Amino acid sequence: MIWFKEFKVAELNDRPKNHLGALLDIQFTEIGEEHLSATMPVDERTHQPAGILHGGASVVLAETLGSIASYLCIDPQRFQAVGLEINANHLRPVKSGKVTGICKPLHRGAKTHVWEIKIYDDRGKMNCISRITVAILPKAIPDSH
């Protein structure tokens, strides 16, 4: 298992609701040995004007998965994980339903993590593939004065 400790899906879905992932109703669905999955609805919140899934919404799902995956791999008392770079290829349109992102590691180093996120529609067709690089930064040590 690649995670720092054992986590439950309910813990990930029970985080504060004042962020973009919550506004788009991103829900974590599985924490596997070496992958993390989440869903996002394709509806008026995530559509672009042409009535299909907005590419930026797919990137939000990908970045949410990659950032949380890195967080799950580090000691949160000592480190923080922040997105450094992300890219996405949008392969086919999605009009409705849900999309599911599956995040897997490509590299987990001391200072950077690289994750691949494949996003699938309800029919199991890949509609987006993304890669995110996450910086692993030491948390500032509080000044003792």
Query: Would you say residue 126 lies in a domain?
Result: yes
| Among 103, 9, 6, CA closest to 63 | 103
Confidence band (pLDDT; 50, 70, 90) for 142?
low
Q: Which of 6, 30, 44, 63 is catalytic?
A: 63
Among 45, 43, 130, CA closest to 94 = 43
2 within a domain of the structure (yes/no): no
Q: Is residue 41 a part of any domain in this protein? A: yes
Q: How far apart are CA 141 and CA 35, in angstroms?
A: 31
The range of the structural domain enclosing residue 114 comes to 9-138
The answer to the question of residue 145 being in a domain is: no
- Coil, helix or strand at residue 46: coil
Q: What is the pLDDT of residues 89-131, one digit of tens each?
A: 999 999 999 999 999 999 999 999 999 999 999 999 999 999 9
CATH of the domain at 30: 3.10.129.10
DSSP 8-class letter at 140? P
Tell me if 120 is assigned to some domain. Answer: yes
Is residue 134 within 8 Å of 84, Cβ to Cβ? yes
Q: Nearest 10 degrees: CA dihedral of 93, 61, 99, 94?
A: -10
pLDDT in tens, 28-86: 999 999 999 999 999 999 999 999 999 999 999 999 999 999 999 999 999 999 999 99
Give yes or no: 63 in active site: yes
Number of domains in the chain: 1
Residue 26 lies in a domain: yes
Asked if residue 4 is part of any domain, the answer here is no
Question: What is the four-CA torsion angle of 110, 86, 36, 61, rounded to 10 degrees?
Answer: 150
The three-class DSSP label of residue 59 is helix
This prediction's pTM: 0.94
